Amino acid sequence: MFSLLTYYPNNSPHITPLVKWIEPYSSLTLLNMKKRSFFRAPIQQDPLPMPTANYSHYALIYWRSKNKRIEPQILEWWSDLNKVDSAFPFILIEVTNDPNPPMLPPLPFLTYSRKPLFFSISVKDIEEDPSARVAFMQFLEQLTLSTTPDYESIE
């Protein structure tokens, strides 16, 4: 049975439409992503929660500005997840202001043996292109069709 838990940050208005799209298919966990201070101190972040065996899939929705790297705490979390001895499928959903979002996850995610499913979408597409929602919903639907989805065809 397909059951999805989705983590998402609380400080990005661009992510809100995507959270609404995924809400009927997922349990949602709000992450307390605190903003940087005026003095460019490191981001203060509560530890990201670790998945449990209650769900068949886990997703993380995150924001990445064009030509910027992913936030370090997300990479650290992914590293920790890869140390856990479990075989849960993990889905990265990147929201970006890049008009041509990447087709592959950021390179650090590809260095691990457990590679994520990846879906990237631009803010412009979320706001202006109805087919973006259709593509995203088809991505989710393919995951829900089977207990063992064909990940190669999804990618």
Give me the pLDDT at residue 144, please.
Answer: 61
In which residue ranges of the chain is pLDDT below 50?
Answer: 35-43, 147-151, 154-155
CA pair distance 21, 81, nearest whole angstrom: 26
Q: Where are the domains of the chain?
A: 4-154
Q: What does DSSP assign to residue 130? A: H
Per-residue pLDDT at 42 = 45
- d(CA 133, CA 99) in angstroms, rounded, equals 16
pLDDT at 63: 80
- Report CA torsion sign: 35, 133, 77, 63: negative
pLDDT at 102: 83
Look at residue 143 in the predicted model and tell me its pLDDT: 67
Which region holds residue 83: left if phi is over 0, alpha if psi is between -120 and 50, else beta? Answer: alpha
Q: Supply the CATH classification number for the domain 4-154.
A: 3.40.50
Is the pTM higher than 0.85?
no
Report the chain's terminal Cα–Cα distance, integer Å: 21
